[in-house]
Structure 1
Amino acid sequence: MEEMPFRIVNLKMAGQFAMHLWVSLVGGVILAFPYIVLQIWLFVAPGLKPEERKYAGVLIGSSSILFFLGVLFGYFLIVPLTVQFLGTYQVSDSVANQIDLSSYISTVTSVLLACGVMFQLPVLVYVGSKLGLLTPEWMRKYRKHAFVVVLIVAAVITPPDVASQILVTIPVMILYEISILIASRISKRQTLR
């Protein structure tokens, strides 16, 4: 790992220990995501029809893969940009950056989890389409609105520079277009029935 362009400091007696526990907890949630999704499915499955239950494997597998891809995307692309920008940003040369450890870890974990959740878009569209809540026509009609929402979310989870905002927006909009294709396929299947 390359050296930070700023200094990270710990201001609390048990700060490093608490951050170690927090990182372990977040890492555990990320690694256990497939199991968490499986448990949610097992809770919901008894209320579903048999033909709806047959998609469990695809739903759990794709949700897990997309979440891991989102976390990896956040870790390798967004976090370095965020840390570089926010860590080196200065109002004045007389104000030195000494970033608190809890602030640094909080920023990194929130970016990772936000990217993982944002990559769940195709799964949410799949479920919404199956339930009849989303149609491909509706998604195409409100594509511009979705673009604005994605830009706003990207602005919230990235530093205030345009490059990282675009870096988040592009894959999420690609996922949105893939989601429209998924909704179209589901709509065609339901029309044939």
Structure 2
Amino acid sequence: MGAKETSNAKSAAESIAEGGLMSVFDHLGELRKRLIYIIVVLVLGLVIGLLLAQPMYKFLMSQDPANTISLHTFSLWDGISMYMKFAFIIALIITLPFTVYQLWSFVKPALRENEQRSTLKYVPLALFMLLIGLAFSYFVVFPLAFNFTRMVAGQLELEETFGIAQYFSFMFNIIIPISLLFELPLAIMFLTAIRIVNPIRLRKMRRIAYFVMVFIGVTITPPDIISDILVAIPLILLYELSVWLSGMIYKKQLEADKRWEEEFDRTAGS
């Protein structure tokens, strides 16, 4: 087992050394290739999204609060705009795991063999966390914000007329940022695995992180304490989960480094 780890570490060091000999243009060329792959998949995702836009629209219109109001169009472009927005959401869901895989492929040469295996599992997790974020933002945050705006309109005795473009723009401006925030634990795990961040640094940044999470929660929710708490607490818990997961990975890295050093000392002494 020790010999295998030594061999893996040696091969990793060789690959890093080789990567160090690569010019800046080589790295930029590799990054350009990955970006082209992502753009191609994004375009294909948009095509699929256009095909699925109408079923997705009908599903959302059958759910609260859309099924309790009448939506109107105020522009000839509203229908096309809706198709493109729905297509973009579907393309985002399709493209995100592939984007994570391309990121993993880009940094793979600089990782040890065991780090390559451990970071590859983040690809399916990216889709899982995105779907959880979509569910939380749509079923929890969006109704809070929507009902608050209607309450204010009622207090001002305004006659409500909902435009389809305004309704879905309001919805997407809430659910997309929150859904992407749910990728935070995954991003922290990945950055820890490639040794860019560690739990020590994350704990030192806790106050700043809490402030950012509370600020986001207050910004995207109605200005009442209940709504702010309902959104800010899950975001803070996401950060704490990220710190905990980072700690688990960091501990394994320290143990692996210690075993490698002990094996290296034994090999050097023999």
Q: TM-score, normalised by structure 1?
A: 0.83
Question: Relative to 1, partners in 2 of residues 1:186 and 1:41: Cα closer, same or farther, differing over 3 Å?
Answer: closer
Deviation string 1:91-149 (CA, Å, 9 cap, x unpaired) is 86353332332221112112221121111111121122234332222322332221111
Deviates more, 1:131-140 or 1:63-72: 131-140
* Distance (whole Å) between structure 2 residues aligned to residue 3 and residue 78 of structure 1: 12
SS at match of 1:19: helix
Residue 120 of structure 1 corresponds to 183
Instruction: Write the letter of the residue equivalent to 1:127.
Output: F
Matched, 1:67 2:130: yes
Is the contact made by 1:7 and 1:97 (CA closer than 8 Å) also made in structure 2?
A: no
Is the contact made by 1:114 and 1:157 (CA closer than 8 Å) also made in structure 2?
A: no
Residue 88 of structure 2 corresponds to 25
Residue 88 of structure 1 corresponds to 151
* Distance (whole Å) between structure 2 residues aligned to residue 52 and residue 190 of structure 1: 9
Residue 252 of structure 2 corresponds to 189
Is the contact made by 1:88 and 1:97 (CA closer than 8 Å) also made in structure 2?
A: no
Structure 2 unaligned runs (5+)?
1-62, 258-270
How large is the Cα RMSD of the aligned pairs? 2.5
SS at match of 1:134: coil
Max Rg structure: 2
Higher relative contact order, structure no. (Cα contacts within 8 Å, ≥ 6 residues apart): 1
* Distance (whole Å) between structure 1 residues aligned to residue 113 and residue 201 of structure 2: 28
Residue 132 of structure 1 corresponds to 195
Deviates more, 1:21-30 or 1:62-71: 21-30
Count residues in correspondence.
Answer: 193
Percent identity between the two aligned chains = 24
Instruction: Write the letter of the residue equivalent to 1:142.
Output: M
Deviation string 1:8-55 (CA, Å, 9 cap, x unpaired) is 432101312321332232133224432343344344445645443213
Residue 10 of structure 1 corresponds to 73
Is the contact made by 1:6 and 1:97 (CA closer than 8 Å) also made in structure 2?
A: no
Residue 77 of structure 1 corresponds to 140
Instruction: Write the letter of the residue equivalent to 1:117.
Output: L
1:153 to 216, 219, 222: 216
* Distance (whole Å) between structure 2 residues aligned to residue 94 and residue 77 of structure 1: 26
Residue 107 of structure 1 corresponds to 170
Is the contact made by 2:74 and 2:163 (CA closer than 8 Å) also made in structure 1?
A: yes
Question: Relative to 1, partners in 2 of residues 1:40 and 1:103: Cα closer, same or farther, differing over 3 Å?
Answer: farther
Residue 225 of structure 2 corresponds to 162
Q: TM-score, normalised by structure 2?
A: 0.62
Question: Relative to 1, partners in 2 of residues 1:82 and 1:94: Cα closer, same or farther, differing over 3 Å?
Answer: closer
Deviates more, 1:36-45 or 1:80-89: 36-45
Is the contact made by 1:23 and 1:105 (CA closer than 8 Å) also made in structure 2?
A: no
Instruction: Write the letter of the residue equivalent to 1:87.
Output: R
Residue 5 of structure 2 corresponds to none
SS at match of 1:105: helix
Deviates more, 1:169-178 or 1:82-91: 82-91
